[in-house]
Every structure is written in C-alpha cells, then in structure tokens.
Amino acid sequence: MSSENYKIVDQHAPYFLTFTVTDWVDVYTRPEYNAIIVDGLSYCRQHKGLKLYAWCLMSNHLHLVCQTEGVRMSDFVRDYKQFTAKKTLAAIQSGPESRKDWMLYRFEYAGKFDNRITQYRFWQDTNHPILLDSNNKIDERINYTHQNPVKRMIVEREEDYLFSSARNYADMSALMEIDMI
C-alpha cells in the first residue's frame, strides 16, 4: 500500500494510529517514561477533545484507536508527539539511563537528515492512520491493539498488560480512563 493510503482525510472521524520511535529504539521500558505517555493521553482526554477508545504502549511504539472533537486530528497528532518527545528526551537526559548516549546519538543522527529538526528526531514522521469507518473496523483495531503484548509474548492474557486499555474493557483497575465504545 502506498503512503497515499495513509492520510487523515476526515479530521474528526475515528482512526487507528501508530506512533513509532525512530529506529524502533526500545525507549518505553522504564515506568517514568511510560508515565509521560499515560499522563499526556489523560491530559488530552480531559482538555484537548481526545476521545480515546483503545491504546497500548509497547517498548518502541504506541497504538491508539481515537478521534477528536473540537480539534483537528492532525493537530492532536502533531502536538501530542511534540510534547511526549520533549518530555521523554528530557527524562532520558536527566535520569539514570544506561543507554543514554546511544539513544541520543540515534535520535540526533536521524534528525540530521531533516532541516525541520533542530537536534533530535524522536518519533518517526508517519502515523500510519487508518480510517475506522465502520463498527467492524473499530472492533478489529481495538482487538489488534489489545493483542499486541500477547503476540509479543509479554503477557498471556491481554488484560494482564498494564500499559493498555484492555484492562478497562476487562473491568479491571487501569492506569487511566478511556472512552468505552
């Protein structure tokens, strides 16, 4: 499929999005980094018109099933990625990260090839948006999102993965509220 098929065409429709860390670097392996993603999503739900139906944070990418109200989806994507990149990079630089030099080198090297980047490219440009224009497509992508840690053999059951909305759907305690669908 060409990249033309992966564009946000309806700014307020539900989408499946994937945000991938540059070079698939395994950044989200520490609770303090993961909290940046969770806190950012919670904030956007409460203050920025994000309707979050499903999410799953893996070590190097984030899946979302969501839509926006009152703000364009493209604006949410841009702002969320910019915010989480800055916060995560600051946490890497100031914390006890054993891979700090290597990670920052990877992000700096990737940023050298884009004149829009001043220092580091944290997220890949693409978001792989897939328009979810039917209930069947929404259900399919929510299931895909929740099955990600199961398929990676991190957990046996999707609801056992802490950094996912599968816990919400299983009526278990979860890290944040979502918009059940």
State how far the alpha carbon of 58 is from the alpha carbons of 47, 77, 88, 155, in Å: 25, 18, 15, 12
Is residue 26 predicted with pLDDT exceeding 70? yes
Sign of CA dihedral 18, 20, 26, 32: negative
Q: pLDDT value at position 5?
A: 62
User: Higher confidence at residue 125 or residue 178?
Assistant: 178
Rounded CA gap, 17 and 131, in Å? 9
Tokens representing 111 are: 């940023």
22-26, 87-91, 124-128: least confidently modelled range: 124-128
Torsion 16-22-25-28 (CA) sign: negative
- Binning pLDDT at 50, 70 and 90, where does residue 112 land? confident
Residues 124, 111: Cα–Cα separation, whole Å = 10
* DSSP-assigned states of every residue in 106-171: HHHHHHTT-TT-SS---B-S----EE--SHHHHHHHHHHHHHHHHHTTS-SSGGG-SSBTHHHHTT
